[in-house]
Structure 1
């Protein structure tokens, strides 16, 4: 069974998300939306099937990364999230919440052995 297939996003805390987005747009050319910047790429040799990695600043007051006290969170793309979560539970991995489904995919959060919160995402491509 495949587990992680790629990095879905890099999320980090900052004092002023809008200001930092503007800085990255101005100085590094990031194309921003309400969440941050999407870096599109081609999946495999099929140039029609695109994916993306999201770069997203969060307020330094966000609770979204809890229970981790770290200033970052990595989102990993996965296949078959339900099966993966069952395997992770069997392996003793801390699963923080139930799988949630949105228009753009399924999500769940886990902790690694150092207490870093990790977001697992099964995208709807």
Structure 2
């Protein structure tokens, strides 16, 4: 049987696509022929994963205005937050949950971005 092998992309309408692409390049270092592009994963974890998560309300998405959030894996959340703050980017919050570190910001279109540094593998988490 055929199966899904990973997340192929996130697509949404931007007020100014060129300006949004420039922001992603300058702020997060993400560039590509068709927009911000990244390899699926080059992390040292045995089982890196992507997640599609569903919520009954938009509390986790706020203050984003897009009705969805983009979660980006990072190799060092603390360093990434420091870099973003140095660029003048507002960080909405930051937390270490033990299984991973998280931080949040908004892109120029009001889409909430969650930065995630995976600290444990899915097997470590399920063994709790």
TM-score by length of 1: 0.58
Counterpart of 1:122 (choices 108, 112, 117) is 117
Q: 1:116 to 1:101 in 2, by over 3 A?
A: same
Structure with higher RCO (Cα < 8 A, 6+ apart): 1
Deviation of the 1:84 alpha carbon: 0.8
Residue in 2 aligned with 1:84?
80
> 1:103 aligns to what?
98
Q: What does the per-residue CA deviation read over 1:26-52, in whole Å, with 9 as the maximum and x for residues that have no partner? A: xxxxxxxxxxxxxxxx965x8x81111
Q: For 1:48-87, what aligned pairs fall within 5 Å after superposition?
A: 49-59=46-56, 61-87=57-83
Q: Which residue of 2 aligns with 1:113?
A: 108
Distance in 2 between residues matched to 1:43 and 1:88, nearest whole Å? 21
Verify the 8 A CA contact 2:58 2:67 in the aligned structure 1. Answer: no
The runs of 4+ residues in structure 1 deviating greater than 6 Å are none
Quote the Cα distance in structure 1 between the aligned partners of 2:64 and 2:41: 31
- Give the gaps of 5 or more residues in structure 1: 1-6, 11-41
Contiguous gaps of at least 5 residues in structure 2: 1-6, 11-39, 121-128
Does the 8 A contact of 1:43 with 1:50 survive in 2? no
- Contact 1:43 1:49 survives alignment (8 Å): no
Distance 1:65 1:53, change over 3 A: same
